[in-house]
Amino acid sequence: MKKKKSFWLVSFLVIVASVFFISFGLSNYSKQVAQADSDTTSTDHSSNDTADSVSDGVILHAWCWSFNTIKNNLKQIHDAGYTAVQTSPVNEVKVGNSASKSLNNWYWLYQPTKYSIGNYYLGTEAEFKSMCAAAKEYNIRIIVDATLNDTTSDYSAISDEIKSISDWTHGNTQISNWSDREDVTQNSLLGFYDWNTQNSQVQTYLKNHLERLISDGASGFRYDAATHIELPSQYDGSYGSNFWPNITDNGSEFQYGEVLQDSISKESDYANYMSVTASNYGNTIRNALKNRDFTASTLQNFNISVPASKLVTWVESHDNYANDDQVSTWMNSSDIKLGWAVVASRSGSVPLFFDRPVDGGNGTRFPGSSEIGDAGSSLYYDKAVVAVNKFHNAMAGQSEYISNPNGNTKIFENERGSKGVVFANASDSSYSLNVKTSLADGTYENKAGSDEFTVKNGYLTGTIQGREVVVLYGDPTSSSSSSTTTETKKVYFEKPSSWGSTVYAYVYNKNTNKAITSAWPGKEMTALGHDEYELDLDTDEDDSDLAVIFTDGTNQTPAANEAGFTFTADATYDQNGVVTTSDSSSSSSSTTTETKKVYFEKPSSWGSTVYAYVYNKNTNKAITSAWPGKEMTALGHDEYELDLDTDEDDSDLAVIFTDGTNQTPAANEAGFTFTADATYDQNGVVTTSDSSSSSSSTTTETKKVYFEKPSSWGSTVYAYVYNKNTNKAITSAWPGKEMTALGHDEYELDLDTDEDDSDLAVIFTDGTNQTPAANEAGFTFTADATYDQNGVVTTSDSSSSSSSTTTETKKVYFEKPSSWGSTVYAYVYNKNTNKAITSAWPGKEMTALGHDEYELDLDTDEDDSDLAVIFTDGTNQTPAANEAGFTFTADATYDQNGVVTTSDSSSTSSSS
């Protein structure tokens, strides 16, 4: 029962009127199942026709079906994959409206008068027992809808058996405050006489009824209006009772309560005693169907603080359908099937399929095509519904992953582990699937339809039609064999400019008309740019047996009802047929693939990521990847480089440069002629370089330059060397190559190059500052020169040394101050070039001689007069920072003030 039904009380104040209150107040779960055909699928008690337990299976709500009708349809119910059948209430009820069995009198079934088994509408106890016995033969469980909250509102119709129980009722004072849980559980729903459920005699009477039903063959119960019966005192305080712990201790396999979610429903507490209804999730499903929006994050959320294993879910309940508010009556069969694909594909919960009256729906509740006692609509054994049922049974224990393929919120996907997947398309339009999957490779037939889907290398492809359900599981078929070789064949299509941006190729066998790609519209082609598209097709069939049709979903060529173009691998087609063909066998061992380079000076207004799109001018086929092409490598100063592996002639190629927004040449203009090693700007070729000029006689030299950085610069300094003629970087891209710190703000660059100094220029930078300034030409490169921020300071002729030069070992000594540390360094440098003679600052560690005296051994052929020396312990130094070093004198002894003594080491001779 639902509290929203209380509006009936406003309309009726008499007993007869209260009958109608009852009719709408008590309907909550009822299912209908259609009449079975005599020769449907065979009964196979194995496979996935039924699950091992109700908790792992699917329930059919045979709403208002008689016991005999259910019994006569058990074979079809079994073959349709249902594990349980839920009946309408089976106890004795009030018979109203002149005993009419029109379905708009369904509510009388929710007005108990006595708790014996059997009633006017559904059949006798003997028929109930016969139905249960037959169900067990099909491994089907019977779930009885039990009305334990109240009786009829007609006191005179209530049996003396009930009235003889002392203090049996709370009365029929109606609920006035639906936000007050005591009011909701202790007063009357819609004027029905409310059972005094705290009364132990009442509990015994009702429990005896349940136990008798189990004895007759029932396997479980649905408790109508469960949320109107109080919980134990730890949940409901002073008015709480042990009704539910006592009642549910009845030995049945499966029990669930109608707990319609609201602010006081306490569904998580009821779940301690039974499964509960996820009524809000039903609202979510119907809203998704109405809005045609299958957003995965929305459909994944059951909207209830109860584990999925304790939930009963539905697309609609009998209350949603049959009450006067007609919450779900608007849905058509397509809506039901799509919603069922979502609900019943899910893990954990138990789905319940409400079977509507024959011809019901689309806004019509009771069309009059069937009545109470009859089977309902045939939708419960529709192919798609059955496929989802059996999928649910087969996936027991598998994890679920709910998503929208490629973000398309019109398509629902639920992949269950690596065993199966269900798709549902809320849109009227078909959709080409290309999604990652854990399913095994092979071809799968849609168990909900007749189309096929392919899994290869972890991707599932195929086309789901508008409003279609796709169910894939089980062993795939496989066309491959050890003797067959599958090739990947390509074709290209130049689409008309008026076509849409998504293009499909539909390839089929001309002899069998069987699709080689997925079903119409085929496989989506890859856009290569400039209206060119590519298809990769894995097939071992001969080209001569195949035909191809191109379409954007609206336009197609050849036209509808015309034969496709003959399929030719590697051919390029336009809307009139083949434009060019390429003989892929022309390559041989004599063909050499070259790596060709081109350079591009981008405009300063362009973005920092630049692409080169190279294509064959004759075929329009991309040589790089599809538009926008291959990303170029930034060399610095807005220069970019492309490496292209190709054996095609430059004369056949053209190139377009783009940052994704800007491009040159402009859109719809032909690309620049491709010239290997050329540098382009936005107007075309700037310079070309003959890359064949190098030979075995070319020698690469290591050249050095030095830089005295300004003291305000950072400690990391780079040198960017480039060719002044081509603007091509010789070092790595901007900011260039990191220089080696030599100390005292001096840095060294080692550069391996065979280019002439006169062709090179150099720029120094710390990443923030640079010299020369931005947009100025670099300093002319001079090997072995020392630069400061204004240019060359000194040059050194590195060729002056010869075999006659003798390197000497020179010594100096230092008496350190007692306050200095124990480790002392000597930094010796050339006063003319500022180049370190020792290692970089703080220099070479001196040898301790004792008594604060230290010795330096220095191997050098430079004159003492050109050298200076600084002593330091890493913290203290002499001379002080920014002062010139002491003049270097071999064999001299220094203290912190300079030379103390000198010794003439040449006075020693053999004659001494």
Going by C-alpha positions, the residue among 222, 227, 152, 234 that lies closest to residue 185 is 227
Q: Which residues contact 510 (CB under 8 A, 6 or more apart)?
A: 545, 546, 547, 563, 564
Going by C-alpha positions, the residue among 156, 118, 115, 150 that lies closest to residue 16 is 156
Residue 594 is a catalytic residue? no
CA–CA gap between residue 534 and residue 569 (Å, rounded): 11
Place of tokens 């309408």: 88
The token duo for 389 is: 């049922």
Q: Is the dihedral of CA 278, 279, 284, 285 positive or negative?
A: positive
3-state secondary structure at position 190? coil
Residue 568: left if φ>0, alpha if ψ -120 to 50, beta else—which one?
beta
Kindly report the number of other CB atoms within 10 A of residue 293's CB atom.
Answer: 14
CA–CA gap between residue 141 and residue 496 (Å, rounded): 61
Q: For residue 432, give the H/E element and its range.
A: strand 431-436
CA–CA gap between residue 711 and residue 709 (Å, rounded): 6
CA–CA gap between residue 301 and residue 292 (Å, rounded): 17
Sheet containing 679-681: give its strands across. 633-636, 639-646, 594-601, 679-681, 684-687
Going by C-alpha positions, the residue among 698, 708, 763 that lies closest to residue 730 is 763
> One of 49, 258, 382, 639 is an active-site residue; which one?
258
The token duo for 769 is: 């500052």
CA–CA gap between residue 412 and residue 425 (Å, rounded): 7
The token duo for 556 is: 């197609």
The DSSP letter of residue 27 is -
CA–CA gap between residue 223 and residue 220 (Å, rounded): 10
Residue 327: left if φ>0, alpha if ψ -120 to 50, beta else—which one?
alpha
Q: Are strands 672-673 and 746-753 parallel, antiparallel or unpaired?
A: unpaired
CA–CA gap between residue 506 and residue 796 (Å, rounded): 74
756 close to 781: Cβ distance less than 8 angstroms:
no
3-state secondary structure at position 620? coil
| 900 CB-side CA count, 13 A | 11
The token duo for 349 is: 């919960």
CA–CA gap between residue 747 and residue 840 (Å, rounded): 9
The token duo for 568 is: 């030719």
Residue 655: strand pairing partners: 614, 672
CA–CA gap between residue 268 and residue 273 (Å, rounded): 10
Q: Are strands 556-557 and 546-551 parallel, antiparallel or unpaired?
A: antiparallel
Residue 258 is a catalytic residue? yes
Chain Cα centroid distance, residue 503:
24
Peptide bond into 735 cis (omega under 30): yes
Burial track 169-197 (b if 16+ CB lie within 10 A, e otherwise): bbebebbeeeeebeebbbbbbbbbbbbbb
**Strand locations in 282-428 (E):** 311-313, 350-354, 400-403, 411-416, 420-425
The DSSP letter of residue 757 is G
> One of 49, 79, 194, 224 is an active-site residue; which one?
224
Going by C-alpha positions, the residue among 246, 241, 247 that lies closest to residue 210 is 247
306 close to 267: Cβ distance less than 8 angstroms:
yes
Q: Which residues contact 813 (CB under 8 A, 6 or more apart)?
A: 849, 853, 854, 855, 856, 891, 892, 893, 894
Active site positions, annotated: 224, 258
